[in-house]
Homo-oligomer: A and B are copies of this chain.
Amino acid sequence: MSISTSPSSVLTPKLHYDNDEDVALLTAVNDEHGGVIVEMKDPMNSTDFSISLRTSLTNWKKQGIKGVWIKLPIKLANLIEVVVQEGFLYHHAEPTYLMLVRWLPNTQHTIPANASHRVGIGAFVMNDNREILVVQEKNGILRGSGFWKFPTGVVEQAEDIHVGAIREVKEETGIDTEFVEVLAFRQTHKSFFEKSDFFFLCLLRPLSFDIHIQELEIEAAKWMPIEEYAEQPFVQNHELLKYILDVCLAKIDKGYSGFSPVQISSTFFGQEREDCLFLNSRDFNH
């Protein structure tokens, strides 16, 4: 179950007129799954919009259209109620737009699910003296606890895990790194309202050593002997943190193998695609 929409195929909708009824129809572009996408851009009063939407829906039904997507920028919030009254549900929202969708046929819908997971990283960065890079945060639940932790952060939309890990370490501590491996990952549910999240434990190799902290989020950062990190009561008393530390120790002392990224180009129905596949490279000879 997947859908892809190339941004270039989404044109600015205009109104065009249905000669028979003299009603302005909404202009839509076809998606690749028998549906249409309407991207509203210009202000419209809700009465005119309501008539246009209703007439358009009648036409789309005649044409056998399946899913109808309507994207409303936040400045057109006045039109949401009209769309909802026509039987649409919300699909997803970003800060400045809301996407609504309605399945027209009398069949079970195949509308793809909304994004369900947030993605975070934790960075294990060790120098040649077995000192690891640790921080104390200014905000969050650990603030003021005195606990030294791995740098962590949220991977941005459309950002690869390894790129996000390097960026977060650089932002929080000023340290340049290169990415080595995902050592393990954790899945958790209901971490934020109803959403789930992934946390990828990443091994990075330091390329610089002078720390410059980011004042907004970071209280302090330093290189700390790994044994000293391990002795912190918070690590000792927290089963997951102990596991994470033991995975890191297995890596540096016992040849533990994680997953490293391989960039792969494929051609899929004439379209070039770049994928990043994480796998156990040590066990794999392609």
Contact = CB atoms under 8 A, between A and B. Distances in A.
Interface of A: 1-5, 32-33, 74, 77-78, 80-81, 84, 89-99, 108, 110, 112-120, 139-141, 153-161, 183-198, 216, 237-241, 243-244, 246-247, 250, 254-259, 262, 264-269, 273, 275-280, 283-286
B283 A185 contact: no
Contact of A90 (B96, B244, B277, B278): B96
A32 B161 CA distance: 28
A256 B284 contact: yes
A32 B141 contact: yes
Nearest to A74: B84
Given A114-B94, A186-B276, A257 B257 contact: yes
Contacts of A269: 141
A280 B264 contact: no
Contacts of A184: 259, 277-280
Contacts of A257: 257, 280, 283
Given A112-B154, A243-B262, A243-B279, 17 more contacts: A1-B154, A2-B141, A4-B192, A77-B81, A78-B81, A108-B216, A113-B154, A115-B115, A115-B196, A116-B155, A161-B187, A183-B279, A186-B277, A238-B268, A254-B283, A255-B283, A258-B280
Contacts of A78: 81
Contacts of A285: 250
B1 A140 contact: yes
A157 B277 contact: no
A30 to B, nearest CB: 14
Given A140-B1, A216-B108, A186 B275 contact: yes
Contacts of A188: 273, 275-276
27 contacts: A1-B154, A2-B192, A2-B197, A5-B192, A33-B139, A74-B90, A80-B81, A89-B96, A91-B95, A92-B193, A93-B99, A113-B154, A116-B118, A157-B194, A158-B190, A161-B187, A184-B259, A185-B277, A188-B275, A238-B266, A239-B264, A239-B265, A240-B275, A246-B284, A246-B286, A250-B283, A280-B280
Given A94-B90, A195-B115, A275-B186, A238 B267 contact: yes
The 9 closest A-B pairs by CB, nearest first: A93-B93, A184-B279, A90-B93, A256-B283, A89-B95, A158-B189, A115-B115, A239-B266, A116-B157
